[in-house]
Structure 1
């Protein structure tokens, strides 16, 4: 996969004062044609980046909310085409630029929009169109943002030894946009673009206001679970069938909380207050970063709920901690290979499988001849613990 650059514009964004978060200005350094790029030092710096960006994989629904590479989709009103999207038009003008000056002008327009965002930082800003001649007639658009590296020095001469480089950039942490997205070699999605940036940053979400990003798998699952919770609440409290409960809940939800909420509930039936309390408990639970076992649903209820989710998201991860022990598997392992129970007031996680595999280092656990389940449950149930640290086990 070899990209041939058509046009490339190189800009530098700098702080106007000493404050790194203060006002910024930019300067156009050069716009290159294909021939000029071949003879420039930028070729060695960027050539590998085109291929690297194009081959970087990304999912429409990423595995987490903080993935560095995302797929964006141009937003349009129902019934309208792509050319009604301002961001698409901005990119398309660059892809269809007919000469060097026209490309420079359109690139300048893009940079001006970027400069108006809160996420703008100093560094090199590069826009390029490049073709895969063996696959497509139309070029791809690439946008590169390279931040300045602080405290960079280079070897100078025998007297000074080193000299400071004031504006050094590094290809290692390049942020990028590729349009159109190429999910597979030879296939492009004109409605989609691919962005790559630091996972905690929102450089391009701020910049591209008319591009949407699909929810991550955890977000989708969370919504599905909360829908199940609402169904459970309706079934348990029969809110849909009881006019008094529905009316009281509507009255409470129409208040703004505080004293008004208390007044609304002063004469509410006991079941309404209990229902609202449970709903608040679920809301607090769902909003928590670290959550505890709620002990609300039966095993069969959880198995059924898990089955519905796995049907839509087959490869979901299941990860939790029991005290300081981390357990990782797949969502569909619950009820099959991973089981959760109580024993003498404590939680027990049972993991079953056909074989063990140990990695890195050798431990005495690898020499174990496992006891039968009944023996283990008897031992754990009677509170028999392992020997204390420093206490030698019998050898006979």
Structure 2
């Protein structure tokens, strides 16, 4: 997959005050032949193919995904031309005369520099064609200036600091139209790629919307299932139903939640199967006190289960192999107990903790280290520590 450059607009943006005001320090329009003979060709070599091939999910897992698909916002019954962002992209794609290229590129530039969090750097607008096909594509590339960049000089000065340096590895990009695969384009969608937490392109393209994330879709589906369960379980207009509905709304609006303890295991399994049938890769993450647990939602009920023993939660993880990484610990030498022994231990510790608040969970009440040392005599099978 190779792209042939029709023309390229190059702008250097400079921040001139502490308030973030930008000005254009340098600009140039390059034709196909001028681009082929320029250093920019070497700098951008392979970048267009990389952008086109970069994978993007229609519904990203979370909002912080680096690559997204944007869709032009349209009022019902209105054509694509009614969208200002589409209109600007279309004018650039149809520009062939140098004056038109410059005029429409400046329109895009002026709109871009009004975005609040835009940093100084290089903005490159490119019209390119895919070899062997007639489809034209618009690429918008942004390279922020690199901080503290230097080149090696000689034995006397060692290095020379470089101002306004750019790096192809950190290019933010827009590609329009979206190419689903070679030879198949979608004029309703724009591919956007940006690593930065500051969403320059999302703020810049005000008339483009983004699909819901998988996390949002699943959350909404869970709330919908919960409401269905309430409707099925409680009589209409009953106080219990009203209370349950209010609690569900609170849960939906809370960033952190505790185990609600409302559904039986079978109900949870049924809801889990409904969700994972459409979204098999959904993760399940939660904390048990200070312990982080991360699994797939589909693991629940098989490789991961939750129980309760004397008021305390127990998470049971099941698998064929345990692997350790980075650094050794004594746990790696463990001969595991049977599950029945472990459950007995958990129940015993819970009971002892209820009877003796000072109980430490190791079978004895809290005593001083001197008392323990004098009371224990080493036996033949005692470890040497």
Runs (5+) with no aligned partner, structure 1:
246-270
Residues 203-254 of structure 1, C-alpha deviation per residue, up to 9 Å, x if partnerless?
1111112211101001111111122232333344433xx3xx6xxxxxxxxx
TM-superposed CA distance for 1:329, in Å, is 1.8
Once the two structures are superposed, the pairs formed by residues 314-393 of structure 1 within 5 Å of their partners are 314-360=280-326, 365-383=331-349, 385=361
Structure 1 residues 163, 387: CA separation in 2 closer, same or farther (over 3 Å shift)? Answer: farther
Kept in 1: contact 2:349–2:363 (CA 8 A): no
Structure 1 residues 375, 203: CA separation in 2 closer, same or farther (over 3 Å shift)? Answer: same
Kept in 1: contact 2:231–2:241 (CA 8 A): no
- Distance in 1, Cα, partners of 2:289 & 2:181: 43
Superposition misfits of 4+ residues, deviation over 6 angstroms: 387-394
TM-score of the superposed pair, with normalisation by structure 2? 0.84
Alignment partner for residue 202 of structure 1, among 194, 199, 203? 199
Kept in 2: contact 1:337–1:353 (CA 8 A): yes
TM-superposed CA distance for 1:360, in Å, is 5.0
**More off after superposition, 138-147 vs 284-293:** 284-293
Once the two structures are superposed, the pairs formed by residues 82-161 of structure 1 within 5 Å of their partners are 82-134=80-132, 136-156=133-153, 160-161=157-158
Q: Secondary structure at the match of 2:103?
A: helix
Structure 1 residues 298, 162: CA separation in 2 closer, same or farther (over 3 Å shift)? Answer: same
Kept in 1: contact 2:235–2:241 (CA 8 A): no
Q: Secondary structure at the match of 2:45?
A: helix
- Distance in 1, Cα, partners of 2:332 & 2:20: 59
TM-superposed CA distance for 1:30, in Å, is 0.9
- Distance in 1, Cα, partners of 2:94 & 2:299: 51
Alignment partner for residue 162 of structure 2, among 162, 165, 170? 165
Q: Are positions 1:226 and 2:223 aligned together?
A: yes
TM-superposed CA distance for 1:28, in Å, is 4.6
Q: Secondary structure at the match of 1:168?
A: coil
Q: How many matched pairs?
A: 362
Match of 1:300 in 2: 266
- Distance in 1, Cα, partners of 2:185 & 2:328: 49
Runs (5+) with no aligned partner, structure 2:
351-360
Match of 1:61 in 2: 59
Q: Secondary structure at the match of 1:382?
A: helix
Q: Secondary structure at the match of 2:142?
A: strand
Structure 1 residues 180, 371: CA separation in 2 closer, same or farther (over 3 Å shift)? Answer: same
- Distance in 1, Cα, partners of 2:241 & 2:248: 11
TM-superposed CA distance for 1:102, in Å, is 2.1
- Distance in 1, Cα, partners of 2:135 & 2:35: 19
Q: Are positions 1:23 and 2:21 aligned together?
A: yes
Q: Are positions 1:183 and 2:180 aligned together?
A: yes
Aligned-residue CA RMSD (Å): 2.8
TM-superposed CA distance for 1:198, in Å, is 2.8
Once the two structures are superposed, the pairs formed by residues 253-332 of structure 1 within 5 Å of their partners are 271=239, 278-332=244-298
- Distance in 1, Cα, partners of 2:16 & 2:27: 17
TM-superposed CA distance for 1:149, in Å, is 2.1
Residues 86-116 of structure 1, C-alpha deviation per residue, up to 9 Å, x if partnerless?
2122112222222333222211111111122
Structure 1 residues 145, 387: CA separation in 2 closer, same or farther (over 3 Å shift)? Answer: farther
